[in-house]
Structure 1
Amino acid sequence: MERFIKVSLEQRQVSCIARLLDDEAPRTAAAVWNALPQSGQVFHGKYARNEIYNLLPAFAPQEPGPENTTITPIPGDLCYFTFNADILHTPAYGYKDDDRVQTPEAIIDLALFYGRNNLLINGDQGWVPGNVFGTVVEGLEEMAAACQSIWMDGARGEALTFSRHEPAG
């Protein structure tokens, strides 16, 4: 049976529906599904291009590891990344030394890619493959417009939420 999640921008009151890729990424899809809902401050990609994401404390009992990875996500892809604080809190991201998080714990990046021509490379780290665990099946156009608003108008105070969705019928 197919499973679906809702991806929402809370202040902008916009959402889209994605189908989990249980066949292609079973470990990652299960890790995300079992931890829903998840919500946090939204960020817009600096390097990857047409991406919004949030950063969350690790939530899976066991990290899924690489699965259905890509470095060139397409519009509608939902991706899962695992980082540690030393990778994310570098001067390239705008943090000063006194702002750095001094912890090696895992940080999970749940991302939605809303446009074409994305490339997952980080100037400090190199290639950053992500696990593609879902694909948007409804509402991408409206979500893409809201994502452009985040890019142009700012992300401050906006939350990106991933929650379970039960299709009508």
Structure 2
Amino acid sequence: MTKQISLTFPNGARAIADLNLSNAPVTAQTIWDALETPVEVLAVHAAFAGPEIMTGLPESAQTFDPESIPVENQTCFPAAGDLLWYYQAPNQMKNMSEDLWEIGVFYGDGGRIFGPLGWTPCNIFASITEGLDEFAAACGNTRIDGAKTITIARVS
């Protein structure tokens, strides 16, 4: 059975993503479990990665040990529609004493996972299969209009 999650902007732009239980089974299942209750999170446009919005995973959904997620289905060059998982431990990067729980959504071609620490392979745990065009337009608007709250939820 395919497990899916939805990502929805306040303007109604909505994407459906299929979890990649074949190539990223632990990551996909862990994120699925963390989304037992839908989350509303602030999404910002990436500075280094190209066509990507990124969001943290709120404390209410931090129901697992992030360091227990293995390396799975990693790339530095995600495709349009790919969702990534990234965890950065406290003090991993200079002057960042807090940890970072990130879900990234690539909405266009030309994405690259490159940040202040250089190339950063990340687990690709899902891919958007429905609604990418409308969702991509809303993602692109965050670059100009600023951060937006999105809802991430399981699709039943």
TM-score bracket, shorter-length normalisation: 0.7 to 0.9
Greater alpha carbon shift after TM alignment, 73-82 vs 50-59: 50-59
After TM superposition, give the deviation of residue 67 of structure 1 in Å.
0.6
1:121 aligns with 2:114: yes
After TM superposition, give the deviation of residue 14 of structure 1 in Å.
1.4
Of residues 96, 99, 103, the one that matches 1:110 is: 103
Task: Kindly report which structure 2 residues correspond to 1:125-144, keeping only aligned pairs within 5 A, or say none.
Answer: 125-144=117-136
Q: Which residue of 1 aligns with 2:63?
A: 59
Percentage of pairs with the same residue: 31
Q: Which residue of 2 aligns with 1:94?
A: none
TM-score (norm: length of structure 1):
0.81
Equivalent pair of 1:48/1:118 in contact (CA under 8 Å): yes
- Rounded Cα–Cα distance in structure 2 between residues aligned with 1:5 and 1:108: 18
The 1:67–1:84 alpha-carbon spacing in structure 2 relative to 1, beyond 3 Å, is same
> Secondary structure of the equivalent of 1:52?
strand
Equivalent pair of 1:53/1:160 in contact (CA under 8 Å): no
After TM superposition, give the deviation of residue 149 of structure 1 in Å.
0.9
After TM superposition, give the deviation of residue 13 of structure 1 in Å.
2.1
Equivalent pair of 2:5/2:17 in contact (CA under 8 Å): yes
The one-letter code of the counterpart of 1:45 is A
- Rounded Cα–Cα distance in structure 2 between residues aligned with 1:88 and 1:38: 27
- Rounded Cα–Cα distance in structure 2 between residues aligned with 1:59 and 1:113: 24
- Rounded Cα–Cα distance in structure 2 between residues aligned with 1:82 and 1:165: 24
Q: Which residue of 2 aligns with 1:71?
A: 76
Superposition RMSD in Å: 1.8
1:83 aligns with 2:54: no
The one-letter code of the counterpart of 2:42 is Q
After TM superposition, give the deviation of residue 145 of structure 1 in Å.
0.5
- Rounded Cα–Cα distance in structure 1 between residues aligned with 2:70 and 2:56: 17
> Secondary structure of the equivalent of 2:16?
strand
